[in-house]
Chains A and B, each alone.
Chain A
Amino acid sequence: MRSRRRIRDKVTNPLDRSLGDMRNEKEDDMVIEEAELEELDELEQLGAHLREAYELSGEPPSLAAIEFAESSASLPERTPAEMARFNAAVRQRIDEALRASTGAPTIGAWVQHARREASLDEAAAARQTGVAVTAYRQFEAGRMPVWGLPAKTFAKFCRGLAIDVSTLLRWASVSALNVRHIAYGRLDVRDEDRSKQLDTLAGESKDQFKAEFDHWRREFIDAYEEPSTNDVPPPR
């Protein structure tokens, strides 16, 4: 019982240790005893096994290792333009990966594939989605963005086709930002004022677009999660 208490006291000790205590401790520890030298190999082997065990555990790196890298690796301050380029490159990779995993070049083509699997024709799809057949064709051909469709009716249509809504929304958000960056993202090299105006215009346009997209997205999610009139209530 006494030894247990002593161990518990020791556990809390490191937190209370002052710098002076730590310095003293270092001095005490500077001398390696003979006995310790003899068991060096054994201890190193334990360390090596520990490293292997940690590797095998699949544990992600510790927070300490990440924070150490963050504080010690040198990287020049990143400009907003660098960050924007980096983000655009990430979105490009996501887009490519989504194309590969769905086997479709656009969201429209992906939905088209699901529609065909369900043996649904374009006219029925357009009717269910609440748009004209020509407009629906434009969507499937990748010439109209998904957020151009009415959110509520399209959400119900997607539910009917059992489309993975999380993938659809993330793909839409990635495509949306890729499209918007092209709109005003340029500079007028001869006129600084004009460059600033374009910059402001781009910022305002982006904010407005984000708000519109977000509104569409929320409407879509609400409609997708809404119970369908065809849903049969669970038996009591």
Chain B
Amino acid sequence: MNNYSNDDQLADAVQQGEIAAQEDFFNRFQVTLIKFAIKKGFSREDAEDLAQETLAVGFRTIASFRRGERIVRWLAGIEVNFMRRRWAAQSRDEVLDESTETAASMWLYQEQAYLAARTLSPEEMKERARLWADTQLYMSLAPNQVHMKVVQLFYLDNLTYAEIEATLGLAKDTAKVYKQRGLKYLKKMHDAKPPQDP
């Protein structure tokens, strides 16, 4: 099934209309995309629909896939955009309750962050952009990578504590502490003044 040794080769072959590449492209990523949508709280039927929508757009816009990156992440990014549209179209009556900690409520959390981000002032947008750029650096340099993994899984990947436990084997309370320690480290780094030139 897998005739292409790397993602760039597959993307080039899809772009040039190779039938085998087209089949490989659909077969290789369909299950991942369906499961990713299911994990975000969509029904199996909706997840299949989202995966089809994503692969269709991916196929048509394969030229915009940046070579050297991973196709699966690129496609998941497209799928998330389709998910956002569906969430935006849904009723907003549902109250977010973090205590339930279901995948759907965590996803609502992400949706809230997305919507909140859209209402930020230009200054706040600039500040968030700087925050993200700095955070990427600080996370890679962090002395305790386990703390950073918890921060990433909780805030960026929107995993629940139960899911973090399943992934890293950390009990809920431990994960909470690690998350806090991770944030504390990031805050310290953000608050620190850049070194002054002598």
Contacts and interface: CB of A to CB of B under 8 A. Distances in A.
Interface of A: 7, 10-11, 13-15, 22, 25-26, 29-30, 32, 36, 39-40, 42-44, 46-66, 68-70, 72-75, 78, 83, 86-87, 89-90, 93-94, 97-98, 166, 168-170, 172-174, 176-177, 210, 213-214, 217, 221
Contact of B34 (A42, A52, A75, A173): A75
A53 to B, nearest CB: 4
B31 A78 contact: yes
3 shortest A-B CB distances, which residue pairs?
A: A60-B77, A169-B17, A10-B143
B108 to A, nearest CB: 12
Contact of B16 (A10, A52, A59, A166): A166
A177 B120 contact: no
B52 A93 contact: yes
A174 B18 contact: no
14 contacts: A30-B174, A44-B183, A56-B125, A61-B80, A63-B72, A66-B73, A69-B35, A69-B39, A73-B36, A83-B27, A87-B23, A166-B63, A169-B16, A170-B17
A87 B26 contact: yes
B39 A72 contact: yes
B156 to A, nearest CB: 5
B4 interface: no
B167 interface: yes
Nearest to B142: A11
A11 B19 contact: no
A15 B56 CA distance: 40
A86 B26 contact: yes
A40 B180 contact: yes
A189 B120 CA distance: 62
